[in-house]
Chain A
């Protein structure tokens, strides 16, 4: 064992380390899990935007992805399964000055929390939602989720999944989200940029992160860590390129990047507090 490197030295080289609660590490995540990549991307995005720890709240529900706030040195709330967006709505509306990030999973946001998801999007409240889509319920050991691909194995689909999937981005757009992007745990720097733009965006921002659940999903479906990352590399393409593809060549390919961006719609907190200003006579 060598002498530990002093924190200042680390932060000098990797400034986003200032957002980490290093005393709470190691994380609970499995080796190769993509959640850490998304977390790192979010920290780097905050750092590049120059937002200090004291200006950030991070809220989550329950699941592996929802454990993220525990490692983030800001104002953090690890809430109940599926309900993160409701707590975040109360917090953000009360303290609009806090940059508020929500970390959630495919089950958390779209199964148990589906109702809150569409309504938060509809309100266009200024939350940046990082949704870790790992196609599975990771925390509870690999049950089927609303995004598990057809034919894939989960502990509750021993004969292969026969339910159709949600297309998260399309759900979000239809519900009224004004910034919708998709990245992957493999394309780390691109993901950082997507999250950065999501934070900058004034309104409901959804960043879907395709992320390998290496241990649970990978094992069930006989994919190694490498194969899973390779799969994201091979099967996702930048949205610009995807748009140019003829319909028949799009099959099986997933577009990455900013899928939807609309700055014209008013943001919920702003609308509310303007109303309050009017009603309480100025100021």
Chain B
């Protein structure tokens, strides 16, 4: 099993931290993981991403090539992932197929923020989950900054669309949060994760 995930958003939305928490959760679960990031000039201004590869055995190639899941946190990040837009990851892609995501497998899980992202993907091609991620962070938790962790909650539930049970358990995520965020923010982030699980479940029922 090799499972590739990307968390992508605008700078400041904590995409890399979310990727680190996700990879740490995988390790807690007893799975192997790599987490890589793209830096510097290669990055289009404003967009930032964290990639995670998860496997039940040691990982050969550590970077992502064919994503099984994407968490998209903003419109510019969405645009960046869509074929035909000026994307950095695959300079060869052409103008056509405007609603196909680059380097994403058919059948992949696509998690988007329903308020922030105008998503025009073909739902026969992807398993799309739209949820009020940023709104939940702002209104329920009072901190918009934790939307990245809310998104991980949604992701945790949504993996049941691809597997019999969630790829990574809630407990592993909660432990990963304890290990990855400064101690004074642990409770906030745990709550954010659990709220994410809730809205994830609601979104799945809708879908």
Check A-B contact in the complex, CB < 8 A: no
Interface residue ranges, A against B (CB under 8 Å): none
Interface residue ranges, B against A (CB under 8 Å): none
